[in-house]
Amino acid sequence: MLILFALALLFTVTFALIGVVGVIAPKLFRDRKTGRIPSRFSLFLAGLVMSGASFALLTYTSTKVQQAAGFGGSGGVSASANRDASPSATSMGLSVDEFHDAFNAAIGRYKKEYKAADFDVDTTGVTGVFNYIFSQDLTMMGTLDKDDGNVDLIIINISPNEEEAEQLRMLTVLLATTEALNPDIPVEENKKMVMEVFHESIVKFNSEDSVERRVGDLKYSARTGDHTGMMFSVVKSSEG
């Protein structure tokens, strides 16, 4: 079942990226025999339909994986408990080191090879920042709350990539990041919210508006464009 989940995860990302790449560079899908280039709309529609089908399979398999493996929270320091105790209105309750450890614990349940080395942290400016480069097409950056020094924003930037291994890592990083910051949300529910934001952001390619979901007391949002790729962010929700 774990293998089926990984395949469903990979197919979902692959088909979604086909839709995006088809809009940006349809010439990549030129028929070698006839030289015919599919229309941008047909490529986008095909990617959308296929990613929707694989997303349904992903939702089903994630439930089975959770039941079989007994997935729980990320362990260690509880981000949600710290948020409740923090006087800051924007802090997500984890220091950089605590988030790093929670992220690695979460992503290690999917694939240990994806664990991150130490983040690059800079606290010399007015606002502390940190970043990590997974690859040239996958990066993470964050900022630190000025009141308690904890993480208050995470942005994951994703650029289209045709390699299957990289596509799988992209979505796994999204899941691990949100699981680390939202340990009290059931893993199945978190996966569903992440995939909804991911999928709808691609459907609304080049839209001026971001796709948003409130998950617990955090907000997940994403926007996908031809110049920026996908920018997926996590912040503390401003709603009461």
Determine which of 37-41, 125-129, 210-214 has the lowest per-residue pLDDT on average: 37-41
Find where tokens 């664990």 sit: 115
Section 32-52 average pLDDT:
60
pLDDT (tens digit, 9 = 90+) per residue, 108-123?
Answer: 988 899 999 999 999 9
Q: Tally Cβ neighbours within 10 Å of residue 115.
A: 14
In this structure, what is the dihedral angle of CA atoms 104, 110, 111, 116, given to the nearest 10 degrees?
-20
- For the chain, give the percent of residues with pLDDT over 70: 65
3-class DSSP string for 8-38: HHHHHHHHHHHHHHHHHCHHHHCCCCCCCCC
pLDDT (tens digit, 9 = 90+) per residue, 160-200?
Answer: 877 888 888 898 999 999 999 999 999 999 999 999 999 89
Residue 216 zone, left/alpha/beta (φ > 0; ψ -120 to 50; rest): left
Q: 219 versus 161: which is more confidently predicted?
A: 219
Mean pLDDT over each residue of the chain, to the nearest integer: 78
Residues 204, 185 contacting (CB under 8 angstroms): no
User: Beta strands 120-122 and 229-236: pairing type?
Assistant: unpaired
